Structure 1
Amino acid sequence: MDAKHSEVPAGGGISARAVELVVAACLMAGALVVIWSNYTIGAGWAADGPEAGYFPLRVGAIILVCSLAVAWQALRGGERKTFATWQQLKQVSVILAPLTVYVGLIGVLGVYLASSIFIVGFMVAIGKSAWWRALLIGLGINVVLFWIFEIQFRVPLPKGPIEAALGY
Structure 2
Amino acid sequence: MRPYQVATAVAFMFVAAVAMTDSRAGALVDTTGTQPGGIGAGFYPFWSAFVVFTCAAVVAYRSWRGPEGAPAFEGREGVYSVLKLVVPMVVATVAIKWFGFYIVSGLYMGLFARWIGRYNWLWVLLLTVGMPAAIYGAFELGFRVSLPKSFLYDLGVLPF
TM-score under structure 2 normalisation?
Answer: 0.49
Q: Which has the higher contact order (CA 8 A, sep 6+)?
A: 1
Name the structure with the higher strand share.
Answer: 1
Larger radius of gyration: 1
TM-score under structure 1 normalisation?
Answer: 0.47
